Structure 1
Amino acid sequence: MSDAWRGVFQLAADTHSGAVGPLAATPECASPEGYRALLRRRYRNCPDVRQQLAVLARHLAGGSARAPLPITGPYADEAREILNAIYNQPQEGQP
Structure 2
Amino acid sequence: MKKKSLKKVALLGLVSLGLATSGTAFAASKTVYYKGTPVYWEYGKTAGVWSYSKVQSHRYQHSATANGVWSGWKNRGTLAVANTWIAPNAHATAYWDCR
TM-score (norm 2): 0.19
The structure with the largest helix share of the pair is 1
Which of the two has higher C-alpha Rg? 2
Higher strand share: 2
Q: TM-score scaled by structure 1?
A: 0.19
